[in-house]
Amino acid sequence: METKRFGGKVKSERETEARPHGQVLKYNPTSNETVIVLDNLAFANGVALSKDEDFLVICETWKCLRQWLKGENKGKTEIFIENLPGAPDNINIAPDGSFWIALIQLTSEGMEFVHNYKITKHLVASFPKLINLVNGAKKKAMVVNVASNGKIIKKFDDGDGKVITFVTSALEFEDHLYLGSRSTNFVGKLPLTILH
């Protein structure tokens, strides 16, 4: 998934405005053909296949979509989860079939409304100095665990960035959650057994 209009090099103003230039593609190695599965995605930045392989979850700026691959809803696209407190950066499936979503650009307190309307996103993107006011500092971290029905199960938040900052990925493996970050030189390891 990459934005086709800007060649993958998207500035923060374009991220905030979330113009729909992304795609999900399906490649068939046998026929050497590529087809568009989903088009006009707004800064798509993560995709995960469900445990039963019947749908994809595609993360865009401020929401995630569900694209049905099998069953009576095959081909249908719907909102999986929206109005998140940050922009989904990556998504990974957990062993139980839920999803771990790393959130970046955490919304500053009192500014959540900006991401709910296209006009407010456009207005902020038109004035780059407003972006820092709307988006929280990169010295924060948040990861959400979302059930296959699109409901948040758990939320881990390091609002002060004391342990880790700017988490861009979360992967569950053997009762631990591994956290990747673009602003640290280590991989975070969070034991999930003590948190249940």
For residue range 103-154, list pLDDT tens digits in order.
886 665 555 566 566 666 666 656 656 555 555 555 678 899 999 999 999 9
Can you tell me the distance from the alpha carbon of 54 to that of 49, in angstroms, rounded to the nearest whole number?
8
Average pLDDT over residues 5-30: 67
In a domain? residue 37: no
Q: How confident is the model at residue 85 (pLDDT cuts 50, 70, 90)?
A: confident
pTM over 0.95: no
Indicate whether 168 pLDDT > 80: yes
Number of domains in the chain: 1
Q: How confident is the model at residue 67 (pLDDT cuts 50, 70, 90)?
A: very high
In a domain? residue 116: yes
In a domain? residue 1: no
In a domain? residue 168: yes
Count of helix runs (H) and strand runs (E) in the chain: 3, 13
Q: What's 164's domain CATH number?
A: 2.120.10.30
In a domain? residue 34: no
Range of the domain at 156: 46-191
Contact predicate 178/171, CB 8 Å = yes
In a domain? residue 81: yes
Can you tell me the distance from the alpha carbon of 45 to that of 59, in angstroms, rounded to the nearest whole number?
6
Indicate whether 98 pLDDT > 60: yes
Indicate whether 11 pLDDT > 60: no
Residues 6+ apart with CB under 8 A from 65: 38, 41, 57, 58, 77, 78, 79, 80
In a domain? residue 4: no
In a domain? residue 6: no
What is the C-alpha R_g of the chain? 17
Percentage above 70 pLDDT, the chain: 71
